[in-house]
Amino acid sequence: MRYFLRLLLVISSICVSPLVLAHDARPVVINVSEQAPEVFYATIRIPPVLSSNNFPELVWPDNCSNNLQGGSNIWSCTGGLEGETFSLSYPLSNPSLASYFTVEFLDGSSRNMMLTPTETSWEVEPAPTALQVAVNYSILGIEHILIGLDHLLFVLGLLVISGTFKRIILTVTGFTVAHSITLFMSTLGIISLPISPVEAVIALSILFLAYEITRKNMQSWTYQAPVVVSFAFGLLHGLGFASVLGDVGLVQDQFLLSLLFFNIGVELGQLVFIAFVVLLYQLFKEVYLRTKAKEFVQGTSALNMELIVAYFIGIPSAYWVIERSAGFLF
């Protein structure tokens, strides 16, 4: 039994290792803003996972030239940008990162598009409809939560600690309400905190859940009132969501709509993950408890299974605590 448990822990560590290194795989963010009529300035934010020798070059439309004073990022585009096409060119190879394009015009309107890792070009289309904004930002929210390993591991820890269906609903609702509050407050500029310490504490929140699962003190606040824990840490996770939304930007003339549907997308992605975990658990019960290994599996107590989850979420979170803390302490 001990050998079986150790083997599962090793396997989970190996599976998590590449995900640990990939947790910051945020998109390449390209922002083009109109400084004067038909004059544009561009910035590119590069995620830390991309090596410096493979930084992309923004290829401007054919009607644009950068012969103006002020640097190579100032471009004059005769006839404007609507209907024109931008692209990204990588010196070595496409690193399989998503790209987020934003073009901001003098009249306050903007165009936004999230490109998949296989797409490297984008045509600036006419102003999006409210429906297009809702769909695009819902998809963005879903994508963010499903690639945000730290948030998913925190939710997984909450599911283990909550135990019953009723407590899971209450606990996840507390987490949802909390991160929605700080997402809106941070995006609207009501609160502002440096993101590096926030991300370190987010990692610490996962490590805390892992520790609580291994300790399994049913009299602790964590087990007695998991909704309090999920709400408290959910406030921090909301700031993490807001930092990503700050990177990609919002549709300025439909600000609240894009913010609302980004949050809805996050919730939908979270529900998909919870449904997946519950389905996986049910499959485990149906398949393993009906096989010849029934007695062996029954010998694996619920406590041992919870320990596996604790190590599964604890190993990467411990790494993130060290990595993220070092980023702003040294």
Residue 292 has pLDDT above 60, yes or no: no
Higher pLDDT, 201 or 107: 201
Q: How distant, in Å, are the alpha carbons of 117, 244, 263 from that of 97? A: 5, 15, 22
* 5 domain-assigned: no
Residue 229 has pLDDT above 50, yes or no: yes
Please state, in angstroms and rounded to a whole number, the distance separating the CA atoms of residues 283 and 43.
48
Please state, in angstroms and rounded to a whole number, the distance separating the CA atoms of residues 152 and 312.
12
Question: pLDDT by residue (tens digit) across 136-165?
Answer: 889 888 988 888 889 999 999 999 999 888
Q: Are 170 and 222 within one domain?
A: yes
Q: Are 53 and 167 within one domain?
A: no
Q: Are 295 and 169 within one domain?
A: yes
Confidence of residue 51 (pLDDT cuts 50, 70, 90): confident
* 3 domain-assigned: no
Give the position of tokens 């296989």: 118
Residues linked to residue 28 through DSSP beta bridges, in sequence order: 99
Burial of 266 (C-beta count, 10 Å sphere; 0-12/13-18/19+): buried
Question: pLDDT by residue (tens digit) across 101-111?
Answer: 889 898 878 88
Please state, in angstroms and rounded to a whole number, the distance separating the CA atoms of residues 125 and 84.
8
Provide the Cα torsion 21, 24, 28, 32; round to 10°.
-160
Looking at 127, 156, 190, the residue that finishes a domain is: 127
Task: Return the amino acid letter for 200.
Answer: A
pLDDT at 155: 94
- Residue 98, classed as helix, strand or coil, is coil
Look up residue 73 and give its two tokens: 């990022």
Please state, in angstroms and rounded to a whole number, the distance separating the CA atoms of residues 98 and 116.
5
Q: Are 238 and 311 within one domain?
A: yes
Domain count, the chain: 2
Q: How distant, in Å, are the alpha carbons of 34, 58, 60, 219, 299 from that of 109? A: 10, 22, 20, 54, 62
* 254 domain-assigned: yes
- pTM to 2 decimals? 0.72
Q: Are 293 and 155 within one domain?
A: yes
Q: Are 204 and 95 within one domain?
A: no
Please state, in angstroms and rounded to a whole number, the distance separating the CA atoms of residues 213 and 104.
47
Give the position of tokens 């073009």: 103
- Residue 192, classed as helix, strand or coil, is coil
Residue 12 has pLDDT above 50, yes or no: no
Q: Are 86 and 182 within one domain?
A: no
- Domain of residue 258: give its range: 145-329
Q: Are 170 and 56 within one domain?
A: no
What average pLDDT does the segment 167-186 reach? 92
Q: Are 244 and 310 within one domain?
A: yes
